[in-house]
Structure 1
């Protein structure tokens, strides 16, 4: 149960929610994802939303790929686009070999990969992750870390709960703690590692080289411009990899970034205002009602 929660989620932020077991973290995330409706108050804003629940209902009558295509269609994708994105995310999470396996026959880890893939293929403006890393192998956890930073770099809002306090700690923009039926601001990690942002260009359609040093967060524009953000310790190696690629990338700008923009690469143009109507969800408490003379709230 939660009371009196007032939370605004702007675009292009990564938000961590923490708290002891049973305090209402999952309840908050379900409200934000509009899985549940508040008994009082309201949730405003209509971003395109995707949600990874704490427990994925794996006993569904679909194969892994069939389920992802179905979810893509629900989000308005054409069947061919949904199939392409399903293949992309299954491959990225190392689960392509299980594309035709019924969900009920998947291992817990592979089932969790499908659960995460169904949320990412929609390219949501609001991504809500409830212990989404649980059950994933180390490589898949790293893939999800990268995917989260990519969504934020593309302008999305990501809200997550995870039992590991180190999870994405150096990339979090805001943190909140659920306790005592309410929500309070929590301190961010201190001593964040400085990051470097690199802008580079190559002929249109050129993919970024595989296995870039530092696992940079990046966006890649149609005109061949890539904007990559990486821990400063890996910046020289990343520059070398881009310059030695075939074809080589032309380096347009290099800058050091800290604070909320560290690890954030703004894709395209338009800024936050381009998303203002849909990517600024807000959870509002019920309005205060003065008591009547008998001590009960006014209707």
Structure 2
């Protein structure tokens, strides 16, 4: 999925919440979205999840099988906890018995199995949030979008959600999340993005949880006046290299994905050189 020049505002004359957003989401990656309250993080997640449509620009590529946990779960629905999960599982194409089995599994993992037959409207806020998270995970989505999904969960359930996110990425999914705790999944995120103004920039490698170990330095050049695509894999560190070129330093685990993003950008970037960062192998050993 790739966002090109995407903007979103509410109402014909409303202010732009986001504008000029260019973003490619690589497969099998964990992406953190940061920014101050009210900057448009939830709007970006709703665009990625397909809940909202862009006011301008386009979202290209096939729509992956997507699951979304909103910031506020609509608990006043005419279902029990298990009934709601089975209903959502059926919408995602699961057989009823399969959906029921996965519903029980996820309720158990989050410590809410005893509430399977409880109407949603009677659940506590914390248990409602467990159901909201379970409905997204049982579908085994290709794209999982989490908007403050940890809020309201107890300590054990937050840890279980951390594990579930890691499992999803390992299984090949892309997970995009917002969370108010800067320590959430620290060291695990492949990329961190920050909403600033109405745009999107790559956050610092530290907040992205850049992978320790060997790094690669890539010297690149693009057409005059062209900006690097936002959301590059591995949150590379940028530095000027002269003659309008840039060097991008990234953990070697992300180098292939970064090269692919640069070569498939529109317009594509020219790769001038690729080399290991001296001393990293000794440090990693």
> Shorter-chain TM-score: what band?
0.5 to 0.7
Which residue pairs with 2:104 in the alignment? 87
For this pair of structures, how many residues does the alignment match? 202
1:211-239 deviations in whole A, cap 9, x for unaligned? xxxxxxxxxxxxxxxxxxxxxxxxxxxxx
Give the number of the structure with larger relative contact order, counting CA–CA contacts within 8 Å between residues 6 or more apart.
1
Take 1:74 and 1:259, find their aligned partners in 2: how far apart are those partners? Answer: 39
Take 2:102 and 2:18, find their aligned partners in 1: how far apart are those partners? Answer: 36
Segments of 4+ moved more than 4 angstroms: 190-195, 258-262
Conservation of the 8 A alpha-carbon contact between 1:172 and 1:260: no
Structure 1 residue 188 displacement after superposition: 2.3
Take 1:194 and 1:87, find their aligned partners in 2: how far apart are those partners? Answer: 38
Give the counterpart of 1:114 among 131, 137, 149.
Answer: 131
Distance change >3 Å, CA 187–CA 70, structure 1 → 2:
same
1:46-75 deviations in whole A, cap 9, x for unaligned? 110000000000000000000000000000
Take 1:160 and 1:79, find their aligned partners in 2: how far apart are those partners? Answer: 29
Give the counterpart of 1:9 among 8, 25, 39.
Answer: 25
Conservation of the 8 A alpha-carbon contact between 1:18 and 1:178: yes
Distance change >3 Å, CA 259–CA 145, structure 1 → 2:
farther
Matched, 1:29 2:48: no
Conservation of the 8 A alpha-carbon contact between 1:171 and 1:260: no
TM-score of the two chains, using structure 1 as the length reference: 0.65
Structure 1 residue 42 displacement after superposition: 1.5
Matched, 1:61 2:71: no
- Within 5 Å, give how 1:234-249 maps onto structure 2: none
Conservation of the 8 A alpha-carbon contact between 1:48 and 1:126: yes
Take 2:96 and 2:253, find their aligned partners in 1: how far apart are those partners? Answer: 36
Aligned-residue Cα RMSD (Å) equals 2.1
Take 2:78 and 2:150, find their aligned partners in 1: how far apart are those partners? Answer: 24
TM-score of the two chains, using structure 2 as the length reference: 0.68
Which residue pairs with 2:246 in the alignment? none
Structure number with the higher strand fraction is 2
Conservation of the 8 A alpha-carbon contact between 1:173 and 1:260: no
Structure 1: give runs of 5+ residues left out of the alignment.
196-257, 263-271, 273-283, 285-299
1:103-157 deviations in whole A, cap 9, x for unaligned? 0000000000000000000000000000000000000000000000000000110
Structure 1 residue 41 displacement after superposition: 1.0
Which residue pairs with 1:101 in the alignment? 118
Take 2:191 and 2:177, find their aligned partners in 1: how far apart are those partners? Answer: 11
Structure 1 residue 194 displacement after superposition: 6.1
Take 1:8 and 1:153, find their aligned partners in 2: how far apart are those partners? Answer: 19
